[in-house]
Amino acid sequence: MYKVSINGKKALKSEIKSQNGIISGQLNDKDIEASIIETNPGEYHLLLNHKSYNFNIVKADFAEKKLVLKVNGQKFNVDVKDKFDELLHNLGMDSVASKKVNDIKAPMPGMVLNILVGEGQAVKKGDSLLVLEAMKMENILKSPADGIIKKVVASKGTAVEKNQLLIQF
């Protein structure tokens, strides 16, 4: 179960499965089926309830589970929470600042385009650390908390796998 909020308002509950470009599941307890195809690199076409939508992902922060989507020319800020996020929130343990940060790992396979920090550098929560190209999109990995960079493991121009260590705090 996922809880999705759009522009900080609409809270949608969804259970979605995706297979071969077909999305099926429930959205706010209503059955849905949609199809999605990539029309150009980073651009997509979605057919949902007999309505057509063109969209692209403007910005993706996978660590914070936030996206900025441009749908039919209009931008939307999308926040996604899963059951675990909801449980942590209900227990009052959802503050990223309260987490001890040791590592930054690749959220998906990709190519390291740029490293924006160096060893020994102090960073604040939200500071850009590294640019990772994945699925033909540039993703900026940001610091989840204040800290000091202990070691930069990744190298510019190298391919990385999902969960591969990139930076140590």
Query: What pLDDT was estimated at residue 93?
Result: 64
What is the structure's pLDDT at 95?
56
Residue 3: the pLDDT is: 82
The yes or no reply on domain 2-85 and CATH 1.10.3470 is no
> For residues 112 and 120, what is the distance between their CA atoms, to the nearest angstrom?
20
Q: What is the pLDDT along the chain (169 residues), one digit of tens a residue?
A: 778 888 888 677 777 777 777 888 887 888 888 898 889 888 899 998 889 999 998 888 877 888 899 999 999 999 888 887 777 777 766 655 445 567 899 999 999 999 999 998 988 888 999 999 988 889 999 998 888 899 999 999 999 999 999 999 8
Calpha distance 94→156 (Å, rounded): 32
Domain-by-domain residue ranges, the chain? 2-85, 99-168
Q: What topology does CATH give the domain 99-168?
A: OB fold (Dihydrolipoamide Acetyltransferase, E2P) (2.40.50)
Q: Give the pLDDT of residue 97.
A: 45
Tokens read off for 159: 């391919």
CA nearest 135: which of 80, 60, 85, 83? 60
Q: How far is CA 156 from the centre of its chain?
A: 21
* Confidence (pLDDT) at 101: 63
Beta strands across the sheet bearing 128-134: 137-142, 128-134, 110-115, 159-160
